[in-house]
Amino acid sequence: MTNISSSAVVAEAEGPLVPVGLPTEPKKAKPGWRSLNFGSRMWIALGIIGFVAALAFIGPLFYPFGPDEKVGSLYDYPTWMNTPPTFEHVLGTENFGYDVLAVLMASARTSIIIGLLAGTIAVVIGVAIGVLAGYVGGWVEELLMGFTNIVLAIPSIVILILISISLQSTNVPFLKGAVGLALVIGITSWPWTARAVRAQASSVATREHIDVAKLSGARTPSIMVRDVLPYLASYAVMAWVLQLASAILAESTLSMLGLGPSGANSLGKQLFWALAFQAVATGAWWAFLPPTIVLTMISFGLLYLQSSLDEVFNPRLRRGKKKNLAKAAARRAETARKLAENQPVEVNA
Amino acid sequence: MTSILMRASNLTAVYAADSGQDVPAVDNVTLEVPEGQIVGLAGESGCGKTTMGNALAMIANPPLYVVAGKMEIDDEEIDLSTLARGSNEAHRPYRGSTVSLLPQGAMNAVSPTLKVKNLVIDVMRAHKRDTTVAEAMDRATDRLKMLEMPTRVLDSYAHQLSGGMKQRMVTVVSTLLNPKLLIADEPTSALDVSSQKALIEMLLAMVEKKIMRGVIFITHDLPVLSMVTDRLAIMYAGKIVENGPTEELVNNARHPYTSALLSSVLDPTEETRTKHVLGIPGSPPNLGNPPSGCRFHPRCQFAMDVCKVEEPKFLNERDHEVACWWANDHAYETVPMEVYKA
Amino acid sequence: MGLRRYLANKTVWYLGALVVAVVLNFVLPRLIPGNPVDVLVSKMGQGGLSSEAQQRTYEAFMREFGLDKPIWDQFLLYISGVFNGNFGASFSFYPTPVSSLIAQSVPYTLALQLPAIVLGWIIGNLLGAIAAYKGGGWDKSVFTTALLFNSTPYYCLSIILLYVFAVVLGWFPVGGAYSLGTSPEWSWAFFSDALSYWWLPFASLVLINIGGQAVGMRSMAIYELGSDYVNYSRSLGIGDRKMTGYIFRNAMLPQITGLALSIGTMVGGALITELVFSYPGMGSLLFGAISSSDYPVIQAVTLLITIAVLVANYMVEILYGFIDPRIRASKSGEK
């Protein structure tokens, strides 16, 4: 029978009950950074993100072709599929005859920059509104949270589309480009963060150290910055990771609707052109799979990073290592056996 | 002497830590509950008293494992160990009917989307599958009337009841099946003084009416314990260090830890008013790596060389047990408190 | 009493959101320097229209769309249009009314999204619940798969499904909603033909919804597993099956509000899914309107999406008020 109260929470804890004690390995001194207990998930996530970042920022330094260099015609096969195979254009060419890998690297760079900019704007606005509402309370909170809830209820994609359409028709190149898009995404995606931060901030506001700060004559802004913000830092980092992911996805959604940054490559624009020129229907996989995969990697990597950060910041979510738990189970069985036989037990063996 | 209702022996329970190390929270402990009596289990936070309550109530859950232990209750013998597969299901029939738990913090003890009466029906059906709704309601209504509680609680959700009422409602549900033994884990600690009083009176009335035949009352609140219990067991770092009739133990503490624990409580009698309130120096040991010998020796004013090396055996004097080298050398003597007073 | 207050509170907030949305939908497209007709006519100019003809078209359009009136009158016109379901005529398909363009697209969008949202929610919650209940290897495989789907952008999965199942394997048609030569009608032949086009876009929406709901349900259920009432019920000898019932009833409630909050995201994702599959729903209509600067259509589509999302959220929250006894009993509604 399943023991439901335990099975899910500590499923891994129920390792096999090995009948005899396993020899314990001699303990090795761990380097300092190991004590952070990052766990394998964190490394997988960081690995994925690191790979994409290297592709976007280091790749172009070594790749001989640029994203605006016409090297072929519509959907040339990757050169390793030719006879004889060469490795000149590993991912072939796209609809305009540009090298797909070169465009991919430039696109990933733009997308990441848009994500960083928009994510940061969203987190800064969200944290500011959340802390102000949560700490000050009263009518300020009512007002700010009322506003936030209204903005939350309206689907942000609609607002994004409408603003982007207006931006497309301006004659200011700055607003039409990547920076303008990042601004728009940033100022439309803060409400989630604001709502969550407010909840945290109002719980911090009731803690004793805030009273101490008030009694010692600190002013409200200084309390908010010095005594409330530090407690929200870990939360803000996690929110930032999520905002980064959702900003990159928002950019590609807009780009696929034809509202992408003008004068720049981006992962969404790459997909837009691939769809416009029937890459999927004609089987030109090298034109649409690379941006699809990179987008999925970014999204998966960042969400995975967020959930493993959650484990680092909330140790209660951590689970023991399977190997250790199996060993412990074996030792436990041994102790039980000795107790049953009334032998002396050395509990901390 | 009264007969023994329950005897738990060689109870050992460990917490599995992340690192793979097992932390023994209850270490080879034996405890008896005489028929019709309330036994108090006291000690500092983290001494293992709640763990022991969970092990006895048979609800140990990973990362807590009961490694060994046996409970003899009436004529039954129950293996408390949770290591074997299926032990959870094997223990289920005993829970609620043989041993029942009155949990720490009843605030969230009932599912927020469940009416009390549905919980009552589920509890009755868990032990007698064909119980009808009417039967369950009759029983609950009778019990509430007997304890002078309003029957409307049955139609409420937990969040509609006040803290004190919730705790009393949970007590009624816990004892609905007339369990032989009730384990009350800090039932009063979250309540205000008048609710505390009401709950204690109710528990005493229930023992009086023989709804349950024995109670283990776990708390760190010594004044409450000395008021309600017949016997006291003092726990330190996963072991019981002293155990005896309440009055005897309070007036004639034989273990320095008991003595220190008693002296750390405000007692408004004439005799103690002039004394200083004394804490216990030092802090409880890390159970993952307890001190050698007597576990209390690093904090003990009476520690001798032997205390650091060898674990003291239980010394039995007139139904009053103590595990202490000092007590071994000073038969029947009360621990001289003044020594602390420096 | 608590419930009534909760309902009133929610109604006021959603009405507020609706007003803001309607106003934004009017104001934002008018932030364009010049006006929509300028953009359109200048595009026509590139198409080789003479300047005199341009001028005539310009004036005709200005009159037709009321853009020569003061902004306040335009707003009143817009509001009355919203209430009558009259969004004027499309620029690119002039003089086809926008409402008939929308009427053609809405059925396809609904056919895709409604089942995807409802089924995705039900299946996802079941899977998440089972994963939390079973634990072990089951949990691990379900959770990892769900997490992967949950973090895959809608259009990425759409593209991959389209390529693998339609282009490479040839199991499904490559795009569109029905075969060339057939036209929409109420017949079994058309229905089965349309169904073969429906599967892939539906699958790409439903798989991601399942993933998201399963991840959420699993963590809610695991959170509930650690709560006091589970421990207490156990101590009373209540069986696992019964306890599972308690847990899932409680874990379900946040999932309902979760549904409300995710509808907006789902709708946005589904727009692009339609694009990928050239499925003739609202997403494709919007895409076409954006690329041809068909402002009346853009405005109508965005307004409809907003209203649909608001109404869906509102209904879910009202339902929640009836289901959760804590709201029924509490003295004040939460925000």
Task: Kindly tell me if the per-residue pLDDT of A100 is higher than 50.
Answer: yes
Average pLDDT rounded to a whole number, residues A290-301: 90
Task: Kindly tell me if the per-residue pLDDT of C313 is higher than 60.
Answer: yes
Report residue A5's pLDDT band, with 50, 70 and 90 as the boundaries: very low
> pLDDT value at position A124?
93
Question: Cα–Cα distance between B123 and B110 in angstroms, integer?
Answer: 12
Question: Cα–Cα distance between C329 and C335 in angstroms, integer?
Answer: 15
> pLDDT value at position B18?
66
Which of A103, A49, A250, A274 minimizes the C-alpha distance to C159? A274
Question: Across the strands, what pairs with B16?
Answer: B22
The reply to whether A35 touches chain C by the CB within 8 Å rule is no
Q: Give me the amino acid identity at C192.
A: S
Quick one: three-class SS letters along chain A? CCCHHHHCCCHHHCCCCCCCCCCCCCCCCCCHHHHHCCHHHHHHHHHHHHHHHHHHHCHHHHCCCCCCCECCCCCCCCHHHCCCCCCCCCCCECCCCEEHHHHHHHHHHHHHHHHHHHHHHHHHHHHHHHHHHHHHCHHHHHHHHHHHHHHHHCCHHHHHHHHHHHHHCCCCHHHHCHHHHHHHHHHHCCHHHHHHHHHHHHHHHCCHHHHHHHHCCCCHHHHHHHHHHHHHHHHHHHHHHHHHHHHHHHHHHHHHHHHCCCCCCCHHHHHHHHHHCCCCCCCCHHHHHHHHHHHHHHHHHHHHHHHHHHHHHCHHHCCCCHHHHHHHHHHHHHHHHHHHCCCCCCCCC
Q: Other CB atoms closer than 10 Å to residue B234's CB: what's the count?
A: 26
Contact A320 B20 (CB under 8 A): yes
Any chains having at least 3 CB pairs less than 8 A from chain B are A, C
Which tokens in the block code for residue B140? 């609950």
Query: Which residues touch C47 (CB under 8 Å, ≥6 apart)?
Result: none
Average pLDDT rounded to a whole number, residues C118-133: 85
Average pLDDT rounded to a whole number, residues A219-223: 79
> pLDDT value at position A118?
93
Which of A162, A202, A318 to mutate to test binding with chain C, by most C CBs within 10 Å of its CB?
A162
The reply to whether A4 touches chain C by the CB within 8 Å rule is yes
* Residue A242 included in any domain: yes
Residue C211 near residue C145, CB atoms below 8 Å = yes
Chain A contact set for B28 (CB, 8 A): 339, 345
Question: Which portions of chain B are predicted below pLDDT 70?
Answer: 1, 18-20, 84-85, 105-106, 265-279, 337-342
**279-308 of A, contacting C, C-beta below 8 A:** 280-281, 283, 285, 288-289, 292-293, 295-296, 299-300, 302-304, 307
Read off the pLDDT of residues B197-247 as tens digits, 9 standing for 90 and up.
888 888 888 888 888 889 999 988 888 888 888 999 999 888 888 988 988
> pLDDT value at position C328?
59
Query: Is the pLDDT higher at A306 or at C38?
Result: A306
Burial letters B256-267, b for 16+ CB under 10 A, else e: bbbbbbbbeeee
Average pLDDT rounded to a whole number, residues C281-290: 86
Contact B122 C324 (CB under 8 A): no
What DSSP assignment string belongs to C62-113?
HHHTTTTS-HHHHHHHHHHHHHHT---B-STTTTSBHHHHHHHHHHHHHHHH
Query: Which residues touch A338 (CB under 8 Å, ≥6 apart)?
Result: A344, A345
> pLDDT value at position A115?
92
Question: How many percent of chain C have pLDDT more than 70?
Answer: 88
Which of A310, A2, A268 minimizes the C-alpha distance to A160? A268
Q: Which of B14, B62, B89 sits opposite A6 (nearest CB)?
A: B62
Question: Cα–Cα distance between C242 and C208 in angstroms, integer?
Answer: 31
Query: Is the pLDDT higher at A13 or at C152?
Result: C152
Query: Is the pLDDT higher at C138 or at C200?
Result: C200
The reply to whether C262 touches chain A by the CB within 8 Å rule is no
| C-alpha A112: how far from chain center | 11
Read off the pLDDT of residues A109-128 as tens digits, 9 standing for 90 and up.
899 999 999 999 999 999 98
Q: Which of C235, C253, C330 sits opposite B103 (nearest CB)?
A: C235
> pLDDT value at position A160?
86
Task: Kindly tell me if the per-residue pLDDT of C21 is higher than 90.
Answer: no
Which tokens in the block code for residue A103? 């465009």
Question: Cα–Cα distance between C269 and B163 in angstroms, integer?
Answer: 47
> pLDDT value at position A121?
93
Class of residue A231 by CB neighbours under 10 A (exposed 0-12, middle 13-18, buried 19+): middle
pTM: 0.75
> pLDDT value at position A324?
59
Contact B105 C228 (CB under 8 A): yes
**28-67 of B, contacting A, C-beta below 8 A:** 28, 61-63, 65, 67
**126-155 of B, contacting C, C-beta below 8 A:** 126-127
Chain A contact set for B16 (CB, 8 A): 13, 320, 325, 328-329, 332
Shortest Cα distance from C184 to chain A (angstroms)? 24
| C-alpha A194: how far from chain center | 18
* φ, ψ of residue B65 in degrees (nearest 5): -125, 135
Contact A2 C134 (CB under 8 A): yes
Q: Which of C236, C249, C325 sits opposite B95 (nearest CB)?
A: C236
Contact C306 A281 (CB under 8 A): no
Lowest-pLDDT choice from A178-182, A306-310, B197-201, C121-125: A306-310
Class of residue B82 by CB neighbours under 10 A (exposed 0-12, middle 13-18, buried 19+): buried
Which tokens in the block code for residue B137? 């309601």
> pLDDT value at position A226?
77
Contact A320 B24 (CB under 8 A): no
**210-229 of C, contacting A, C-beta below 8 A:** 218, 221-222, 225-226
Query: Is the pLDDT higher at C259 or at A28?
Result: C259
Residue A48 CB-half CA count within 13 A = 18
Alpha helices in chain C (DSSP H): 2-27, 36-46, 51-64, 71-84, 98-134, 136-150, 154-161, 188-225, 228-235, 240-276, 282-291, 295-323, 325-329
What DSSP assignment string belongs to C26-59?
HHGGGGSSS-HHHHHHHHHHHTT--HHHHHHHHH
Task: Kindly tell me if the per-residue pLDDT of A310 is higher than 80.
Answer: no
Chain C contact set for B94 (CB, 8 A): 237
Report residue C49's pLDDT band, with 50, 70 and 90 as the boundaries: low
Average pLDDT rounded to a whole number, residues A68-72: 75
Task: Kindly tell me if the per-residue pLDDT of A267 is higher than 50.
Answer: yes
Which of B313, B247, B178, B323 minimizes the C-alpha distance to B40? B247
Report residue A16's pLDDT band, with 50, 70 and 90 as the boundaries: very low
Contact B100 C235 (CB under 8 A): yes
Contact A288 C163 (CB under 8 A): yes
Three-class DSSP category at B245: strand
Q: What range defines the domain where residue A240 resides? A: 35-318
Query: Is the pLDDT higher at A294 or at A15?
Result: A294
* Residue A10 included in any domain: no
Task: Kindly tell me if the per-residue pLDDT of A27 is higher than 80.
Answer: no
Q: Which of C232, C234, C325 sits opposite B113 (nearest CB)?
A: C325
Task: Kindly tell me if the per-residue pLDDT of A8 is higher than 50.
Answer: no
> pLDDT value at position B274?
53
Contact B109 C324 (CB under 8 A): no
Average pLDDT rounded to a whole number, residues A181-201: 86
* Residue A46 included in any domain: yes
> pLDDT value at position A18?
31
Chain A contact set for C9 (CB, 8 A): none
The domain total for chain A is 1
Average pLDDT rounded to a whole number, residues A256-283: 84
What kind of fold does domain B4-109+169-236 have according to CATH? Rossmann fold (3.40.50)
* Residue A296 included in any domain: yes
Three-class DSSP category at B148: coil
> Which CATH number fits the domain that encloses residue A200?
1.10.3720.10
Question: Cα–Cα distance between A36 and B7 in angstroms, integer?
Answer: 45
Report residue A6's pLDDT band, with 50, 70 and 90 as the boundaries: very low
Q: Other CB atoms closer than 10 Å to residue B20's CB: what's the count?
A: 18
Question: Cα–Cα distance between A335 and A20 in angstroms, integer?
Answer: 10
Lowest-pLDDT choice from C36-40, C119-123, C185-189: C36-40
Task: Kindly tell me if the per-residue pLDDT of A72 is higher than 80.
Answer: no
Chain B CA closest to residue A3: B88
Contact A162 C131 (CB under 8 A): no
Contact B28 A325 (CB under 8 A): no
**291-310 of C, contacting A, C-beta below 8 A:** 291, 298, 302, 305-306, 309-310
Average pLDDT rounded to a whole number, residues A206-231: 77
Report residue A336's pLDDT band, with 50, 70 and 90 as the boundaries: low
Q: Which of C13, C153, C162 sits opposite A280 (nearest CB)?
A: C162
Query: Which residues touch B71 (CB under 8 Å, ≥6 apart)?
Result: B6, B7, B8, B9, B56, B77, B78, B80, B99
Which of A293, A237, A240, A245 minimizes the C-alpha distance to A270? A293
> pLDDT value at position C47?
58
Any chains having at least 3 CB pairs less than 8 A from chain A are B, C
Chain B contact set for A345 (CB, 8 A): 12, 28
* Residue A128 included in any domain: yes
Q: In chain B, where are the structural domains located?
A: 4-109+169-236, 254-340
